[in-house]
Amino acid sequence: MQYRFSFPLSLSILAVLCGCALASSTLAAEPARAEAKEQHEAAVPLKPAELVHIGKFAITNSMLVTWVVAAGIIVFAQLAMRKIKLVPSGAQNFWEWMVESLYNFLESIIGRELVQKTFWFFATIFIFILFVNWFGLIPGVGTIGWGHHDPTTGVFHVDQPLLRGGNADLNMTSAMALIFFLLWIIWAIQANGVGGFLLHIFGPKGETSGLLKIMMIVIFFMVGWLEIVSILFRPISLSFRLFGNVYAGESILEAMSTMVPALSWLIPIPFYFMEVLVGIVQALVFMLLTAVFTLLIAQHEPGHEPQH
């Protein structure tokens, strides 16, 4: 079973990446041309730097990182599974271990039927977010690029880095959250139908009769609108949670490396190990939240007698 995941996973990474690139170009309100003064006030700017313009489409340094990471994952997956062995070793062993572990983990949470339909997306999200987070910790990301020399200190300041952590860009995290929201609607309608989907949100819960049933219909109809607000807010919370944690980590590393210039090579080291752990946790949290949101709308409880 595990041998079937390499090629679909590569295609799903491409699909997610294309959506992320499109959203990144449309969500940016204006070009990221920050003045040098603003760069000094905020060492890690909120907006990614634009590297190349192709018409109205701008390629930013964060998009470049996501493309590099996605290409690396796809190439690694294809090379690892190109010559499949019955007794795996090396890259094939690592890839199968990671995919099987994710599959079994998700199956224990959302069930066998649902994981067979949605695993391609959840595995893609986890692997992609994890490696994008870790790639942002490589020395040189955020510190190599175009800048100027400070005549007072003789230090070179990078004003426009060539590379930037992909998930430290709100456009990137918003794109992934919006893609999930679209898929969530599709999976919800497939599992319940349009009528069942609306009934799940606005329909009364529990077994009642008479006047109490009428009251419950009115109450749950009103509660349904609150549920709509909650559902619409999910992409926002997903995107800001991932972006906030990754951006904060990069800001801490930047602050620690400039706090004492003579010890800039030593002070950030403990925070690097912490960010490696944060990269795993944030990828896991994003995957788990999207999986649980899908489970809540797609699960079907077997019929049973009402409990007293």
**Residue 58 backbone phi and psi in degrees, to 5:** -110, 130
Query: Is residue 264 situated within a structural domain?
Result: yes
pLDDT digits 0-9 by tens, 50-67: 999 888 888 999 999 999
pLDDT digits 0-9 by tens, 251-300: 998 888 878 877 877 888 899 999 999 999 999 999 999 999 999 998 75
Query: Is residue 304 situated within a structural domain?
Result: no
pLDDT digits 0-9 by tens, 215-265: 888 888 898 899 999 999 999 999 999 999 999 999 998 888 878 877 877
Residue with tokens 């019955």: 86
Position 300 scores a pLDDT of 59
pLDDT of 208 above 90: no
Judged by DSSP in three states, 166 sits in: helix
pLDDT digits 0-9 by tens, 14-31: 555 555 555 555 444 344
Q: What is the mean pLDDT of residues 110-129?
A: 94
Where does the chain have alpha helices with state H? 6-27, 36-41, 61-80, 90-110, 112-135, 170-202, 210-259, 269-298
Which range of residues forms the domain containing residue 282? 2-298
Query: Is residue 268 situated within a structural domain?
Result: yes
Q: How far apart are alpha carbons 225 and 242 in whole angstroms?
A: 27
Distances (CA, A) of 197 to 58, 130, 182, 296: 39, 33, 14, 11
Say how many domains are in the chain: 1
Q: How far apart are alpha carbons 305 and 287 in whole angstroms?
A: 34
Position 174 scores a pLDDT of 95
pLDDT classification of 181: cutoffs 50, 70, 90: very high
Q: How far apart are alpha carbons 173 and 166 in whole angstroms?
A: 8
Query: Is residue 305 situated within a structural domain?
Result: no
